[in-house]
C-alpha cells in the first residue's frame, strides 16, 4: 500500500520523438494509435524481460522536495482543451500535467490522440509558473511528467481550475464524487500485497494516450488509454470517463483492460480499490484523536452472485489482516462512505463528503473472492485499506486476463437494494446485564439498520428476529429494538470471547425467516 502523502505528490519507449506544440499548430511528428495496437504491444512486452522506467536527472529531481514541488504551478493559459487562445484545442476538460519531483521520480510519457494519431507532449519549464531558481528548470526535455489531471469544463473567460480526476503514482488514479471531494483511490493492478516473505510490487502506468472530441458536449466521455508495465505483469487499459455538468452523478469510468503475466504471482488483485480507515464510532482509535471519526471509507459493500447484500465495517487492526469472501460472478462490490453527517467528523477536510467507489463488472468475473486488506495505522496520512478481486485459479506465468467493468465515484452505491435495510452504524461496548457487574470478557454489539420503506412496515408490537453466528465465542442477550426519533432498528447481542481470540461475526434482522436487512459481517479481536 502507498503513503497517501507520497501519492498526492507523487517505459518501453516508442522510437522517435513526438512533439506536440502546446502553443498550437500541426505536430511535427505523430503516428497511428489504437487501443488494439496497445494491447498487442503489452502482450509482446510480456514475453521480454522487464526494463525499469527511466528516472531522468536524479540529481536534479532529488532537489525538488515537497516545498520546491509546491512552487511548480501549471499555467492555465497553456492547458490543452481549455479553448484559450494559443492552445490549439477546442473547449473541453482542460488538461494539466504533474511535474517530476523527489516523491515522483519516474518518467511517464504523455500523448494526445487526434483522429487516430498520437503526438507526444514534452516537458518544458515554461508550462509552469516557477521561481527562477527552482531546480525543475534543469530537467531535460525528455524528462516527461509524473502524471496528469483534468479540470472542470471550461466555460468562461475567467476559467478557474478545479480538477476532478487525476492519475499519478504507479497505477493509482482517483476522482471526485458528487460532493466535489477527493478521497479514496483506485489502481490498475495489485501484486503480492500482504504476502509473507514477499515485497509488494507496484507496476506503473508508463504511457498515457488522452483523447477528447473537439466541440463535444460535457457529458461526452474522455478516452484515456494507458500502458502498464511491471516486474511481473504488463497490460493495456482503456478508460472512458464521464463527468458531465450534473455534479450529483459524480464520475463514472468504463474500463477495459488486458493483463498479461510475465511471472507467476502469489496474490493477484484485479480491480483494486485503496482507502484510509483510522477509526469510526467503534474501535480503539477513538482515544487517539479529538475527532469523533476519521476515515475516507467506513465499510466494504458486496452484492454477491447469489443476490445477498453484505456490509463489512472496516477495521484498523493490530496486525495486517486479509479477509476473503468467496463468490462466483458477483454483481458488484465497493468501498463506501455511508456516514454523511458532518457532526460525526467535525473536520474542515470534509470526510463526510468523500466519495464512495463501486465496482460493476460488465464482463463476469467467474469464480474467486473479494478480498479485504486491512493494515494497522496510527494516522490518517496512510492508505491502509484495500479491496480487490482475486481469481480462484492459480496465477501463473503466461496467464492473461480480459476485464471490462465500471467504476462509480458517487455518494452511495449506484444499485442499492430496495427491499432490505442498510447498515448505518456499528457500536461496540462492554457486555453483560445493566445494573450488574460487567465481565471483562463479554462485549456488546449494537448494529443499526435504516430503510424506512422496509422497517416502518412492521406491525406495531412486532419485533424482528436477530440472527447471529460467530466463529468463536458464545452469543447471548439477542434482541432487536427501534431507535427513538427515527426509522432505525438496532440489532443487539453479547459475545463472550477469551482474551486475544479472533471471531468472525455474522448478523441480520429477519421476520418470518425472511431477511429484513443486509448481512452485517465483522471481524473482532478481544
Q: Where are the domains of the chain?
A: 4-10+19-410, 422-525
- pLDDT value of position 1: 60
Q: Which residue has the cell 478480498?
A: 371
CA 32, 37, 38: angle at the middle one, nearest 5?
Answer: 105
Write out the three cell numbers for 217: 458536449
Interacting residues of 194 by C-beta distance below 8 A, sequence separation 6+: 200, 267, 320, 322, 373, 375
pLDDT for the residue 21: 41
| Per-residue confidence (pLDDT) for residue 19, from 0 to 100 | 35
CATH top-level class for 422-525? mainly beta
Q: Which three cell numbers stand for residue 274?
A: 485503496
Compute the distance between CA of residue 314 and CA of residue 374 in angstroms, rounded to an integer: 8
Report the CATH fold assignment for 4-10+19-410. Answer: Beta-galactosidase; Chain A, domain 5 (2.70.98)
> How far apart (Å, rounded) are the C-alpha atoms in residues 271 and 470?
30
Distance between CA atoms of 514 and 510, rounded to whole angstroms?
Answer: 5
Half-sphere exposure (CA, 13 Å, Cβ side) for 97?
A: 31
**CA separation for the pair 446, 213 (Å, rounded):** 52
Give the number of other Cβ atoms within 10 Å of residue 105's Cβ: 18
Look at the pTM and tell me if it is higher than 0.85: yes
The DSSP bridge partners found for residue 405 are 255, 361
Calculate the alpha carbon distances from 10 to 148, 173, 324 in Å.
Answer: 11, 11, 30
Cβ pair 448, 518 in contact under 8 A:
no
Please name the residue that has the C-alpha cell 461475526.
505
**164 three-state secondary structure:** strand
d(CA 355, CA 513): 35
- pLDDT (tens digit, 0 to 9) for every residue of the chain, 526 residues total? 655 433 333 332 332 333 344 433 334 578 999 999 999 999 999 999 999 999 999 999 999 999 999 999 999 888 888 876 555 556 789 999 999 999 999 999 999 999 999 999 999 999 999 999 999 999 998 899 999 999 987 665 555 678 999 999 999 999 999 999 999 999 999 999 999 999 999 999 999 999 998 778 889 999 999 999 999 999 999 999 999 788 888 999 999 999 999 999 999 999 999 999 999 998 766 678 889 999 999 999 999 999 999 999 999 999 999 999 999 999 999 999 999 999 999 999 999 999 999 999 999 999 999 999 999 999 999 999 999 999 999 999 999 999 999 999 999 999 999 889 999 999 999 998 888 888 889 999 999 999 766 776 788 889 999 999 999 999 999 999 998 877 789 999 999 999 999 999 999 999 999 999 999 999 999 9
Handedness of CA 506, 474, 450, 174 (dihedral sign): negative
Parallel, antiparallel, or unpaired for β 309-313 and 519-525? parallel
Burial of 409 (0-12, 13-18, 19+ CB in 10 A): buried
Q: How far apart are CA 112 and CA 127, in angstroms?
A: 16
Distance CA 524, CA 300 (A): 15
* Coil, strand or helix at 40: helix
If you count DSSP H runs as helices and E runs as strands, how many of each does the chain have, helices first? 5, 35
Give how far Cα 120 sits from Cα of 34, 210, 333, Å: 15, 10, 37
Which 8-state DSSP code applies to residue 46?
A: T
Q: How far apart are CA 37 and CA 43, in angstroms?
A: 10
- Tell which residue, 365, 384, 363, has the closest CA to residue 374: 384
Catalogue the E-assigned strands of 248-331. 251-261, 268-275, 277-279, 294-295, 299-303, 309-313, 321-328
* Residue 269 to residue 89: CA distance in whole angstroms: 38
Amino acid at each position: 500500500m502507498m503513503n497517501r502523502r507520497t501519492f498526492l505528490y507523487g517505459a518501453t519507449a516508442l522510437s522517435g520523438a513526438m512533439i506536440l506544440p502546446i502553443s498550437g499548430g500541426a505536430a511535427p511528428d505523430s503516428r497511428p494509435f489504437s487501443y488494439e495496437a496497445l494491447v498487442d504491444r503489452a502482450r509482446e512486452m510480456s514475453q521480454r524481460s522487464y526494463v525499469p522506467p527511466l528516472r531522468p536527472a536524479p540529481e536534479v529531481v532529488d532537489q525538488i522536495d515537497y516545498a520546491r514541488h509546491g512552487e511548480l504551478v501549471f499555467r492555465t493559459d497553456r492547458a490543452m482543451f481549455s479553448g484559450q487562445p494559443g492552445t490549439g484545442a477546442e473547449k473541453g476538460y482542460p488538461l494539466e500535467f504533474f511535474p517530476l519531483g523527489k516523491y515522483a521520480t519516474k518518467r511517464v510519457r504523455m500523448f494526445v490522440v487526434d483522429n487516430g494519431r498520437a503526438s507526444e507532449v514534452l516537458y518544458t519549464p515554461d508550462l509552469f509558473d516557477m521561481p527562477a531558481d527552482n531546480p525543475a528548470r534543469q530537467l531535460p526535455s525528455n524528462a516527461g511528467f509524473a502524471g496528469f489531471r483534468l479540470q472542470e469544463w471550461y466555460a468562461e473567460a475567467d476559467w478557474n481550475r478545479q480538477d476532478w480526476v487525476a492519475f499519478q503514482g504507479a497505477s493509482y488514479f482517483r476522482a471526485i464524487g458528487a460532493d466535489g471531494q477527493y478521497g479514496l483511490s483506485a489502481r490498475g493492478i495489485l501484486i503480492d500485497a500482504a504476502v509473507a516473505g514477499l515485497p509488494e510490487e507496484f507496476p506503473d502506468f508508463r504511457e498515457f494516450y488522452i483523447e477528447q472530441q473537439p466541440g463535444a458536449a460535457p457529458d461526452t466521455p474522455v478516452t484515456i488509454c494507458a500502458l502498464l508495465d511491471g516486474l511481473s505483469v504488463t497490460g493495456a487499459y482503456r478508460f472512458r470517463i464521464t463527468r458531465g455538468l450534473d455534479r450529483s452523478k459524480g464520475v463514472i469510468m468504463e474500463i477495459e483492460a488486458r493483463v498479461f503475466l510475465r511471472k507467476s504471482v502469489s496474490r493477484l488483485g484485479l480491480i483494486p480499490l485503496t482507502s484510509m480507515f483510522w477509526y469510526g464510532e467503534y474501535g480503539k482509535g477513538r482515544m487517539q484523536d479529538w475527532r469523533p471519526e476519521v476515515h475516507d471509507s467506513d465499510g466494504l459493500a458486496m452484492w454477491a452472485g447469489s443476490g445477498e447484500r453484505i456490509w463489512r465495517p472496516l477495521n484498523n487492526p493490530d496486525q495486517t489482516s486479509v479477509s476473503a469472501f468467496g463468490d462466483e460472478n458477483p454483481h458488484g462490490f465497493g468501498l463506501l462512505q455511508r456516514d454523511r453527517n458532518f457532526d460525526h467528523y467535525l473536520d474542515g477536510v470534509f470526510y463526510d463528503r468523500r466519495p464512495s467507489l463501486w465496482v460493476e463488472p460488465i464482463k463476469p468475473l467467474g469464480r474467486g473472492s473479494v478480498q479485504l486488506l486491512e493494515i494497522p495505522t496510527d494516522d490518517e496520512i496512510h492508505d491502509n485499506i484495500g479491496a480487490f478481486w482475486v481469481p480462484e485459479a492459480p496465477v501463473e506465468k503466461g496467464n492473461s486476463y480480459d476485464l471490462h467493468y465500471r467504476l462509480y465515484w458517487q455518494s452511495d452505491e449506484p444499485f442499492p437494494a430496495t427491499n432490505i435495510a442498510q447498515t448505518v452504524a456499528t457500536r461496540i461496548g462492554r457486555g453483560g446485564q445493566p445494573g450488574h457487574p460487567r465481565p471483562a470478557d463479554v462485549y456488546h454489539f449494537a448494529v443499526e439498520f435504516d430503510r424506512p420503506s422496509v422497517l416502518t412496515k412492521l406491525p406495531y408490537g412486532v419485533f424482528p428476529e436477530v440472527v447471529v453466528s460467530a466463529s468463536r465465542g458464545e452469543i447471548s442477550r439477542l434482541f432487536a429494538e427501534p431507535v427513538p426519533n427515527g426509522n432505525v432498528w438496532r440489532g443487539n447481542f453479547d459475545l463472550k470471547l477469551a482474551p486475544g481470540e479472533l471471531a468472525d461475526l455474522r448478523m441480520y434482522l429477519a421476520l418470518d425467516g425472511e431477511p429484513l436487512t443486509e448481512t452485517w459481517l465483522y471481524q473482532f479481536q478481544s
